[in-house]
Structure 1
Amino acid sequence: MLLSSILLITMPSWACLNTYVEDFYTSDSEKENQREEHHDEKLNNFVSRHPSPIDYQAENDYAVHQIYAGRYDLAIKILRAIENEHPGLPKTAVNLGTAYELIGNISLAKKWIAEGMKRDPTIHLGSEWIHLNILTAKEKVRQQNIFMNIHC
């Protein structure tokens, strides 16, 4: 039980990304085992099929692809722009939460995941509450580690 909890807390949140237009990968193992060149190839293919001006749904999916490619800061910039231009979209919120989690900003991750759930309680088949609980556990582990470092 402890091992599975630790694995859940340390695993990337690939499964918590939400797209409109297409799903880039068929399985979590495919996502995790791709080299950066493969992500760039998929991105170029995506961009060639979605020429400018791109709509917010394709922009969201472009940002998701940037997350898969490890370009979290770019994804956050894109998602924040979508949020500014089209406020209130649940997928934007939860994708922002996942991107913030992946850069280690758990408090902003929790804020955006909770916001996405508020906007649409059924987002990601109603499973985002699990993501929020994992973030809460990560936060507690982080706080315990800080406490242990101070007192040891």
Structure 2
Amino acid sequence: MRFILTLLLLLSYSNSFSCYNEYYALDAKGQFHQIEETKRILFMQHFDLIDIEKQLISLEQKLKKKADFRLLSDYGLHLVQAGKVKEGLVIFEKLAELHPNEYSIIANLGTTYELSGQNELALEYIRRGIQLNPNSHGGSEWIHVKILEAKIALAKDPDYLSNHTVLNLNANQKQSQKVFDQLYIQLQERVPFSPKEPNPIMADLFVEMGDFYFENISFEHAKAFYQIAKIYYKSDRKDIDEKIGKARKLREKYAASRPDASNIKRDPSIKQEVPSEMTTSIKVAGIPYQDYFHNPPGSDYSINWSKIETDPVKLLAYAGIQPESPKESKAVPDSTLNDGRHIKATVTVTKTKIPILWIGLTLATLIIAIFTYFKARRKK
């Protein structure tokens, strides 16, 4: 009986390995690359609004018990993610004024300025954030700077991207795995804020990602990135169709190719769990671009704002921060600094209230003086 149980266990152990799959992709040169297809990093199309609502309710209760600017910063971030950009901006502006060296606040203020369309101010604060923490987001915030610079350039010249790219990478950067790992980080963070609509910046970034994959990892994945640029972000670039066509031709060219030990470039980060003779090699092909997107369960949920505080004045008070008294402000045209950046200047106009009684007494005194003067002249 013990022999039979041992035999069954061995067979089970062997069968578990026989089902292990390894995935491989071909680059434009026909080189096979080992990839972790089952662990592909996905782009979240929308934020999980169910989770955000829970977080806001929880944070509000914590703020009422403990005045902590960090809790308020987290609250402001969730407001912005839920579309309350105006309210989040008021919070982050005040927090940045009080905590100018707190990286997360400065970086969140920069992003909130960008979402509100104030790209010059966004650039200023994202640069400041890099100074405070150059390694944040995997050291990828230089890409955020490039994106803001491209947005500012597009505002001045709508044809800017016809002869430039957003990143303007040099030859070495275009072959750098580190650069494209950082681009992946930035795209993951930006996609939830970038709905399915014409967006030349996002389209350009996905084409850049596609070009890297085409040459260095997988023309099949590259095709999916090109399609995201064309279909999801509705790019009208003519070269995208050409790139997609090249990927399809390579699929036909290498249709009969199969990976083996002699032509596989293995990824050292992928742990070899079983001997290669116990695995099945699968060549990646025909990836729909939709497979790169993920929708969390609460993406189509509507937050019940009636039970969530959104008034920045009250929220600042929870954190023990008293906002300044409202002032009447008059916008002044943008000022240009020496480094070419633009800032919004604001002049505060203070109204002086003159007592009506004082005006009346002055007029009365003047009338009496004139009347006395003319009366004296008649007597003469």
Q: TM-score, normalised by structure 2?
A: 0.29
Does residue 47 (structure 1) correspond to residue 60 (structure 2)? The answer is yes
Distance 1:143 1:52, change over 3 A: farther
Does residue 87 (structure 1) correspond to residue 100 (structure 2)? The answer is yes
2:138: which partner in 1?
125
In 2, the alpha carbon distance for the partners of 1:41 and 1:130 equals 32
Does residue 136 (structure 1) correspond to residue 165 (structure 2)? The answer is no
In 2, the alpha carbon distance for the partners of 1:83 and 1:67 equals 16
Q: How many angstroms does 1:100 deviate by?
A: 0.6
Q: How many angstroms does 1:41 deviate by?
A: 3.8
Q: How many angstroms does 1:65 deviate by?
A: 0.6
More helix by share: 1
In 2, the alpha carbon distance for the partners of 1:52 and 1:75 equals 21
2:77: which partner in 1?
64
Q: How many angstroms does 1:103 deviate by?
A: 0.9
Q: How many angstroms does 1:79 deviate by?
A: 1.1
Contact 2:89 2:113 in 1 (8 A): yes
Say which SS state the counterpart of residue 44 (structure 2) adopts: helix
Say which SS state the counterpart of residue 142 (structure 2) adopts: helix
Gap regions ≥5 residues in structure 2: 1-41, 161-380
Taking the TM superposition and a 5 Å limit, the aligned residue runs for 1:1-20 are none
Give the aligned length.
119
Identity over the aligned pairs, expressed in percent?
A: 29
Say which SS state the counterpart of residue 70 (structure 1) adopts: coil
Taking the TM superposition and a 5 Å limit, the aligned residue runs for 1:26-41 are 29=44, 32-35=46-49, 39-41=52-54
Contact 1:100 1:108 in 2 (8 A): yes
Which sits farther off after the overlay, 64-73 or 42-51? 42-51
2:170: which partner in 1?
none
In 2, the alpha carbon distance for the partners of 1:96 and 1:73 equals 11
What code does the residue aligned with 2:73 have? N
The structure whose Rg is larger is: 2
What code does the residue aligned with 1:116 have? G
In 1, the alpha carbon distance for the partners of 2:68 and 2:43 equals 27
Q: How many angstroms does 1:57 deviate by?
A: 1.4
Q: How many angstroms does 1:28 deviate by?
A: 5.3
Deviations 1:72-118 (A, max 9, x none): 12111111221222221111111111001001111011011001111
Deviations 1:26-51 (A, max 9, x none): x8516x1545x764343113323443
What code does the residue aligned with 1:63 have? G
Contact 1:79 1:95 in 2 (8 A): yes
Contact 1:88 1:119 in 2 (8 A): yes
2:158: which partner in 1?
145
In 2, the alpha carbon distance for the partners of 1:95 and 1:28 equals 20
Say which SS state the counterpart of residue 64 (structure 2) adopts: coil
In 1, the alpha carbon distance for the partners of 2:91 and 2:58 equals 19
- Say what the alpha-carbon RMSD is for the aligned residues: 2.4
Does residue 96 (structure 1) correspond to residue 117 (structure 2)? The answer is no
Q: How many angstroms does 1:54 deviate by?
A: 2.8
Contact 1:91 1:123 in 2 (8 A): no
In 2, the alpha carbon distance for the partners of 1:100 and 1:117 equals 16
Q: Give the ranges of 4+ consecutive aligned residues of structure 1 lying more than 4 Å apart after TM superposition.
A: none
More strand by share: 2
Gap regions ≥5 residues in structure 1: 1-26, 148-152
Q: How many angstroms does 1:62 deviate by?
A: 0.8
Q: How many angstroms does 1:133 deviate by?
A: 0.6
Which sits farther off after the overlay, 136-145 or 64-73? 136-145
